[in-house]
Every structure is written in structure tokens, then in C-alpha cells.
Amino acid sequence: MAALNYRHLHYFWVVAKEGGVTRAADKLGVAAQTISGQVALLERALGVSLLAPAGRGLTLTEAGRTVMSYADRIFSLGEQMVEAIESSAGESRLRLTVGILDALPKLAAHRLLQPATALGRAVRLVCYEGELDELMSDLALHRLDVVLSDRPVASSGRLRVFSHALGEYAVSLYGVPALAERFAPGFPASLAGAPLMLPTRTNALRDRLEQWFDAHELRPVIVGEFEDAALMDTFGRHGLGLFPALTMLGPEIEAQFGARPVGELGGVHQEVFAISGERRIRHPGVEAMLQAGGAIARPAV
């Protein structure tokens, strides 16, 4: 087999990450035809198809997934090599690679990561968002230093993990001013029939919210369910309905989304965990996060 052309591999890697040739072309600043041609040359050199049509986009074939896993490691090592050279030249910059569960509120993730960026030295923060299974796979392959999750994670046969509790945070309902003015008076009884947006059932918070409404004998109207917390916030900004968010983030939510608190859901808490592949954290950025949260490691079972 001919020597691997890493430019071709890089183009394929970007296509796979962006989910299509057009988006990859926009990201790289080259013509879509160039991208397609380079990926075709890679497929010809390897003797396999790497991408297959899927609706309006592309999906990875089985061979494509294998190549993608190696490409991730190759280009991650390349970045580490550059950082090592910069460090030896006196440009010491700490790299922290974090996986963030897509159901986790982004403002909460920002708040939790702040201690890692305030270490008194230069920090390069790299964040990836995805579903828990994907993030745990990346943790197993050492592509991530830590995963932020809304639930603890059990060890599997191939990976021993530890769940470090960062804290439990009170939850409130928020809404645009018109909704807040309508439903804040008389809270929580005022929520009967209120338009409500909820996380999907894959989110650990969903059961707690439903239990709270049942305990108060309330039947709001569910107008939307969202797997991605950021998407729910966006619809909340445009007034689709009331939405849950951490009480401590009230000022940020009002500033970013123009939404005001309607009332705190007493007894409902959002749990956040830092998942690592080791009990004793050695990365100073992760250590700073755990110390700020007063975290205690829970061995996975």
C-alpha cells in the first residue's frame, strides 16, 4: 500500500467532524470539489469506502469509523507535539481537554470550568460536547482529561472510572418577562396549565422535575422537550415557555436570554460530576475544579 497522505486524512477527518463536505469546505476555506477529491484519493489508497450518504449529509462506514478513531489520535498527538515544542521554547501552556454532556447547562459548565482557567498560568481549554457513551469512549482513549456529567458513571470491563461529585445546585423556573409576570404571582399554584419546556428523559433532572410537579399536584402543558440544554435555552429566550435552570445562574440567564426567575423548585437539584479515569487527579486544572466544588470521589461500581 502506498504511504499515507496526511493531507488527505486531514480532509477526511474534518468532513467526518463537520458532518458534510460543504461544511468542511467552509471550515477549511477550500472548494468542496477539492475536499471530495482528496477524500476520494484517501479511499482509493486504503481500498475502502469511508463515507456513505445519509439524508442530506454523510455518515461514516464501519471502515470510516476505524479510520476516524486513528485520525483523532494522530491529530491530537500532532497538537501535543506543537505544545511540547512551544513549552520547551519557554511558552508553557497547560492543555485541559474536557468532554461536556450535551444535556448539561452550558452556563453551568462555564462556571465549573472557571477555576481551571484561573491557575496563575496560561491554560488552553479544549471542550467537546456529546452524548455520555461517546465521551466515555474518548476518556478511555485518553482523548479527554475529564468528563462533566449530570450523573455518576459505572466502570465497564475496559475502563475503571471515578465519579467526583462537584455539587448539587438548586433549580428554578425562568421565563421571558411576559411569562414571568404572568406566572410568578401565586407560585407554584400559578403553574397549573403553564407552558413548560423540559429536558428529555435521558437527562437525570427530568425525573426530579416530574416528581416535584406531582407532589404539588400541578399539570403544566409541556410545549417542548430538549436533549440539548443550549437549544432549550434558545427557545426559552424566544418565549416558547418556562424552562428550568440553576438558581445560581439567574443573573447570567437574565443577561444572556432576557429571562427572569419565576420561582425556585424547592428540593429539586441538578447534580454535576467530574468523571475521570483515576481516583487521584493529577491534572492541576481538574484538581482546581474539584477543590472549588469540594468534590469527593465516588468509586464506580
pLDDT tens digit sequence for 8-22 = 998 899 888 888 888
CA angle 277, 281, 285 (to 5 degrees): 110
Q: How far apart are CA 142 and CA 276, in angstroms?
A: 10
Q: Which three cell numbers stand for residue 80?
A: 501535543
Q: What is the mean pLDDT of residues 252-270?
A: 93
Q: What is residue 71's three-state secondary structure?
A: helix
Return the number of other C-beta atoms located less than 10 Å from residue 26's C-beta: 12
Domains and CATH numbers, the chain: 6-70 (1.10.10.10), 93-301 (3.40.190.290)
pTM of structure:
0.66
pLDDT tens digit sequence for 153-199 = 877 655 678 898 888 899 999 999 999 999 999 999 999 999 999 99
Give backbone dihedrals phi and psi of 3, rounded to 5 degrees, phi first.
Answer: -60, 145
Q: What is the mean pLDDT of residues 44-72?
A: 88
Q: How far apart are CA 137 and CA 22, in angstroms?
A: 28
Question: Hey, CA dihedral for 205, 162, 108, 133, is it positive or negative?
Answer: negative
Nearest to 98, CA basis, from 72, 127, 129, 139: 127
Strands in the chain per DSSP E = 51-54, 57-60, 94-101, 123-130, 146-149, 162-175, 195-199, 221-226, 243-246, 260-276, 296-299
290 half-sphere exposure, CB direction, 13 A CA radius: 23
Assess whether pLDDT exceeds 80 at residue 28: no
pLDDT tens digit sequence for 62-116 = 999 999 988 888 887 777 776 666 555 555 678 888 999 988 888 889 989 999 8
Q: How far apart are CA 221 and CA 240, in angstroms?
A: 11
pLDDT tens digit sequence for 277-287 = 776 667 888 88
